Amino acid sequence: MALEFRALPLTFLAHALAIAGAVMVLVWVLYYRGGMAWEAANKNLIFNLHPFLMLFGLIIIGGEAIMSYKSLPLKKEVKKLIHLVLHAIAIILGCVGIAAAFKNHNESNIANLYSLHSWLGITIISLYGIQWIYGFLVFFYPKGSPTLRSECLPWHVLFGIFVYILAVGNAALGFLEKLTFLESSGIAKYGSEALLVNFTAVVTVLYGAFVILSVLGQAPVEDDDSYSAI
Ligand code: HEM
């Protein structure tokens, strides 16, 4: 499926949404929630690393990795390298973000993995890792034959879109869950913090939509390896 529209203008909108989402989550954790720390007596500061690293790392850097084939006027081989390095950064930041959520739970005597959000989260980071390793082996090193690569590409794109949509949905679920906890412990349902968190989730979903649309659109310069033909 290759749709008849150019992807590049959509990637500009996606970059703007990425900046807005990153600023909004930073304002939330730094101004409203007291900041972020790996070691702290106030265990909430350890948790605060989680939303920031999941949104900025897994969703935003991961989205930029997906769009790199459509947003950069570079040669195929260079774009491939940028794609795999950005995805590696996204996975590493995602793993540190999940580790921060576990550390917060462990040091606060809260049970681990009790929610749908946490089950989906573990599934997503595992599938993301598998997708990266299989992509690396088939498309980069040791690299399959041209036939194997062209047979694998549509599956790589399809599986990548599936995992990414799941990640965006789960981030929205995470914002909802945390805001529900905060509202149960007293913050105003229509207050400025609640609006900020809800709108951060809206921006996250819009960013995800533009990332996926850019995958379906045409690359600036058609090349064999662009994510257009699925
Ligand atoms: C796709 C991105 C995300 C993934 C893969 C993910 C994954 C996870 C995982 C695996 C846990 C379990 C930690 C444990 O059991 O000790 C967790 C906990 C949590 N996450 Fe996320 N998360 C993501 C984004 C977010 C975002 C953006 C928020 C917004 C605040 C958030 C809020 C929470 C909350 C409140 C918990 C603790 C309660 C629970 O375990 O469900 N998450 N997350």
Cβ atoms of 192 and 42 closer than 8 Å: no
Overall pTM > 0.75: yes
In angstroms, the Cα distances linking 34 to 28, 31, 187, 212 are 9, 6, 15, 34
Note the pLDDT tens digit of each residue in 84-110.
Answer: 999 999 999 999 999 999 999 999 999
**pLDDT value of position 84:** 98
- Residues whose beta carbon lies within 6 Å of some atom of ligand 1: 50-51, 54-55, 58, 98, 101-102, 105, 112-113, 115, 117-118, 121-122, 124-125, 167, 170-171, 174-175, 177-178
Domains of the chain: 8-216 (1.20.120.1770)
C-alpha span between 98 and 216 (Å, rounded): 30
CB neighbour list of residue 36: distance below 8 Å, 6 or more residues apart: 29, 30, 45, 48, 49, 52
Note the pLDDT tens digit of each residue in 15-51.
Answer: 999 999 999 999 999 999 999 999 999 999 999 999 9
Atom of ligand 1 lying closest to residue 166 CA: 1
Of residues 158, 7, 151, 22, the one with CA closest to residue 79:
7
**pLDDT value of position 228:** 45
**pLDDT value of position 222:** 57
**pLDDT value of position 223:** 57
Burial category of 97 from C-beta neighbours within 10 Å (exposed 0-12, middle 13-18, buried 19 and up): buried
State the DSSP code for 227. T
pLDDT less than 50: residues of the chain: 227-230
